[in-house]
Amino acid sequence: MNPLLTEAYSADAFRQQGHALIDLLADHLATAQTGTGSVLNYQLPDQQLAYWQADFAQPTSADPIPLLATILQRSIHLHHPQCMGHQVSPPLPLAALTGLMTGMLNQGMAVYEMGMTANALERIVTQWLAQQLALGDTAGGLLTSGGTLANLTALLTARAVLARADVWEEGTTSQLAIMVSEEAHYCVDRAARIMGLGTEGIIKIPTNDRFQMRTGLLETHYEWARKKGLVVFAVVGSCCSTSTGSYDDLTAIADFCEKHTLWFHADGAHGAVAALSDTYRHLVRGIERADSVVVDFHKMMLTPALVTAVLYRRDVDSYRTFQQKAQYLWADAEAKDWFNSGKRAFECTKLMMSANVYTLLRTYGLQLFTANVETLYGLAENLVAQLRGRPDFCLAVEPEANIVCFRYVGTEVDEQQLDRLNAQIRARLVADGSFYIVQTTIRGRVYLRVSLMNPLTTPEHLTRLLDELVRCARAERTGLVTADHPAS
């Protein structure tokens, strides 16, 4: 054998490097959890690229640990309690360890022989989650790589079941359309366009002052679509919306879909997990009537990205999505066998993602996820209470989830100046590196947006954030310059 390949596959080298890497990551985790140091060391894109171009030009090294340490240091630190930016979970150490194992096993899941354990675990995990959402005894589903692909898969299933044509064989024979909140995640719009629905086939329903779909307008928009010759086949409910964390009235959507024999899809990528808590379950009332539901494990369920469940109230519907013959993979392409996941999923070679979720469930049980939901939603309530006591800030909307949108107002009254000021505050904060938050535009105005994803964040960290935002606002107003501001 080639000596370089022999060395690269060395079990002893793997053991030595593995121990060193675990030590490195454990030290990183311990440091991050103290809340000391930076959440990120921000550099402009061209600076970051230049650094790695120079690194790539260096000679190879037999010891990868210094390189891995540099990658770690130059990345954002999700486990830092002052990391409050995007809806990505700081993964549990056990989930990361499981990911190391599945990376080594490298089991594809399209056919049973290549993913025997993974397919069985996927069946158990999806049926467990379907039961938690009360989808019924015939419910089931599959796992896929992220909410975008999951929403596309669910809408493809809806089209296959309700479009009244064999789209897979014959193509689209009519102008199909879906109805969705104007506040829905952009991936729903993207999925519809990938399916060929075009702009006209994405019927946006206006929202109320709480950014929830105005379900009373569904009937009017449906009749408008019919008169235009559009064939509406699905309605998408958000639970919750990405920008503001608002929950649509899922019961009203379910009633409307039943009346018109439409597919009810619930995009619960972030917030469907409210069903795991007695305190917050009311937010997803009606989700049990959805024909399909999407849930991201990598958002509120403490696993590394990407792991997303596509759940069906009638598991048999999932076999209608991709009706493809591949005799070299399956002896019977028409059989509805759960153990060949390639028949139902977009991916053929799919990560062994079920192991991450199953390991957490077997180790910690449902109560782990319940505690996470209640902790994070409770932190949002605490932040709102603090904001109410500080006249320098105003809320965009009363939050229902762990997403809080607010902005600094101070004594300023000009809305455009406030937009610029809040963007500058955010840029200064991120350049400093002690906190990480994002911004969003709501009804034409710029707001600061916090996603509380780390259960080790405390009310004291939230107080510190507000204090720091005030400091940044004052610095901007006095004309102090911070170099290397990130793009707003």
The pair of structure tokens assigned to 256 is 């409307």
| Confidence bin at 325 (pLDDT 50/70/90) | very low
d(CA 310, CA 160): 15
The DSSP code for 283 is G
Q: Cβ(280)–Cβ(305) under 8 Å?
A: no
| Confidence bin at 329 (pLDDT 50/70/90) | very low
Q: Show the beta-strand stretches assigned E in 184-252.
A: 202-205, 231-238
Task: Select from 88, 64, 13, 110 the least CA-distant residue to 329.
Answer: 110
Query: What is the predicted pLDDT for the residue at 326?
Result: 41
Q: List phi, psi (to 5°) of 193.
A: -70, -35
CATH numeric code, 101-364: 3.40.640.10
Give me the count of residues in the chain.
488
The pair of structure tokens assigned to 487 is 């793009």
C-alpha separations of 184 from 151, 187, 376, 400 in Å: 11, 8, 22, 15
Amino acid (1-letter code) at residue 261:
T
Q: List phi, psi (to 5°) of 113.
A: -60, -30
Amino acid (1-letter code) at residue 351:
L
Place of tokens 């996603």: 451
Choice between 357 and 190, residue whose per-residue pLDDT is larger = 357
- Cβ neighbors of 119 (< 8 A, separation 6 or more) are 109, 112, 338, 339, 340, 341, 354
pLDDT over 60 (residue 482): no
- Cβ neighbors of 414 (< 8 A, separation 6 or more) are none
| Confidence bin at 477 (pLDDT 50/70/90) | confident
Query: What is the predicted pLDDT for the residue at 485?
Result: 53
Query: What is the predicted pLDDT for the residue at 374?
Result: 98
d(CA 340, CA 385): 50
pLDDT over 90 (residue 486): no
d(CA 16, CA 20): 6
- Compute the Cα dihedral for 213, 218, 220, 221 and give only its sign: positive
The pair of structure tokens assigned to 218 is 């569904």
Q: Cβ(286)–Cβ(280) under 8 Å?
A: no
pLDDT over 90 (residue 256): yes
Q: Cβ(396)–Cβ(183) under 8 Å?
A: no
Query: What is the predicted pLDDT for the residue at 174?
Result: 72
Query: What is the predicted pLDDT for the residue at 166?
Result: 64
Q: Buried b vs exposed e over 340-377: b needs ≥16 C-beta within 10 Å?
A: bbbbbbbbbebbbbbbbbbbbbeeeeeebbbebbbebb
pLDDT tens-digit map of 374-408? 999 999 999 999 999 999 999 999 999 999 999 99
pLDDT over 90 (residue 244): yes
Question: How confident is the prediction for the chain on average, in pLDDT?
Answer: 91
Other residues' Cβ atoms within 10 Å of the Cβ of residue 196: 13
103 sits in which H/E element: helix 93-105
The pair of structure tokens assigned to 325 is 């013959």
The DSSP code for 311 is E
pLDDT tens-digit map of 270-321? 999 999 999 999 999 999 999 999 999 999 999 999 999 999 999 999 888 7
| Confidence bin at 330 (pLDDT 50/70/90) | very low
At 39 the three-state DSSP class reads coil
All CATH 3.90.1150.170 domain ranges in the chain, comma separated:
367-477
The pair of structure tokens assigned to 274 is 């409210």
Q: Which fold has domain 367-477?
A: Aspartate Aminotransferase, domain 1 (3.90.1150)
At 450 the three-state DSSP class reads strand
Beta bridge partners of 173: none
Q: Cβ(124)–Cβ(333) under 8 Å?
A: no
The full DSSP string for 117-178 is: HHHHHHHHHHHHHHHHTT--TT-EEEEESSHHHHHHHHHHHHHHHHSSS-HHHH---S-EEE
Query: What is the predicted pLDDT for the residue at 397?
Result: 94
Other residues' Cβ atoms within 10 Å of the Cβ of residue 415: 11
pTM flag (> 0.75): yes
Query: What is the predicted pLDDT for the residue at 321?
Result: 78
What is the CB-side half-sphere exposure of residue 235 using CA atoms within 13 A? Answer: 31
d(CA 36, CA 34): 5
Other residues' Cβ atoms within 10 Å of the Cβ of residue 100: 13
Q: Buried b vs exposed e over 45-65: b needs ≥16 C-beta within 10 Å?
A: eeeeeeeeeeeeeeeeeeeee
pLDDT over 80 (residue 179): yes
- Mean pLDDT in residue range 134-141: 96
d(CA 190, CA 202): 10
- Mean pLDDT in residue range 422-428: 95
Q: Cβ(231)–Cβ(176) under 8 Å?
A: yes
| Confidence bin at 210 (pLDDT 50/70/90) | very high
Query: What is the predicted pLDDT for the residue at 481?
Result: 46
Query: What is the predicted pLDDT for the residue at 338?
Result: 67
| Confidence bin at 335 (pLDDT 50/70/90) | low
d(CA 412, CA 415): 8
All CATH 3.40.640.10 domain ranges in the chain, comma separated:
101-364
| Confidence bin at 339 (pLDDT 50/70/90) | low
User: How does strand 308-312 pair with strand 393-395?
Assistant: unpaired
